[in-house]
Amino acid sequence: MKWLRRKPTIITAVGLVIVLAAAAALWNISSSRTFQFFGELVARVETTEKVIALTFDDGPDPAGAQATLDVLAQKQVPATFFLNGSGLKQYPDLGRKIAEAGHEIGNHTYSHERMVLVSPGFVAKEIEDTDELIRATGYQGPIHFRPPNGKKLFTLPHYLETHDRKTIMWDVEPDSAGAHTAKEIESEVLGSTKPGSIVLLHSMFGAREPTRQALGPIIDGLKERGFRFVTVSALLSQA
């Protein structure tokens, strides 16, 4: 009889464990670079050709935009910039400079909020408002999408699938977590990049000076290894 009296407590505890385990699993799925519930996700392209896409997230911001563009121009390397609508609204001249330099511009949402447990209306506004600001730069190419922090669960992938858009992730990520020196960032990229890689860098903001310092050596080192740089769109055409 004592066991029966404790049974509801036991069942409640088991239920809580199941709920927590399910929540943890969904959180891990939301962060996956290679899986989502709807639509197509690309973290790298399977190819034997030594081509890669260099991508930059966030901004644009005066602290790093021009310095990044200067290195890319000096090295004659095209790149894909995943920009925030809020940055484009605040610094439209920087968005125009990126477009005028011939780089590809992708959508990184307006507010850089994590796109998990959000409403369909929120997703649509974040993406569509940013698309408009990207077009206002003069950029005419395809607008690919990358979720902030790589987070996506149900609503965002469903929106992208219904609008025939891919989720662009990455397979090389040297500077996202923790503090890194320029040399550490360079070594990580040179050691991890392979044919078809999508390299993610953050060079826009003031605290990202190590990434800006590493950019030139990264490009030189990959060129020495025979790699050729293309935009995300050009890389996808290799698939």
Task: For residue 231, tell me if it sits in a domain.
Answer: yes
Q: What is the CATH number of the domain that holds 109?
A: 3.20.20.370
Helix or strand (DSSP H, E) at 232: helix 232-236
> Annotated catalytic sites, by residue?
57, 202
Give just the sign of the alpha carbon dihedral 201, 205, 209, 213.
Answer: positive
Say what the pLDDT of residue 230 is.
98
Whose structure tokens read 């590809």?
Answer: 104
Structural domain boundaries enclosing 211: 31-236
pLDDT in tens, 133-191: 999 999 999 999 999 999 998 999 999 999 999 999 999 999 987 668 999 999 999 99
Task: For residue 86, tell me if it sits in a domain.
Answer: yes
Report the domain count for the chain.
Answer: 1
Q: Do strands 198-201 and 167-168 pair parallel, antiparallel, or not at all (unpaired)?
A: unpaired
Task: For residue 5, tell me if it sits in a domain.
Answer: no
* Euclidean distance between the first and the last CA atom of the chain, given in angstroms as a whole number: 65
Task: For residue 13, tell me if it sits in a domain.
Answer: no
Say what the pLDDT of residue 33 is.
83
Encode 10-21: b = buried (16+ Cβ within 10 Å), e = exposed. eeeeeeeeeeee
Say what the pLDDT of residue 75 is.
98
Angle, to 10 degrees, between the axis of helix 92-100 and the axis of helix 120-136? 60
Task: For residue 15, tell me if it sits in a domain.
Answer: no
Say what the pLDDT of residue 94 is.
98
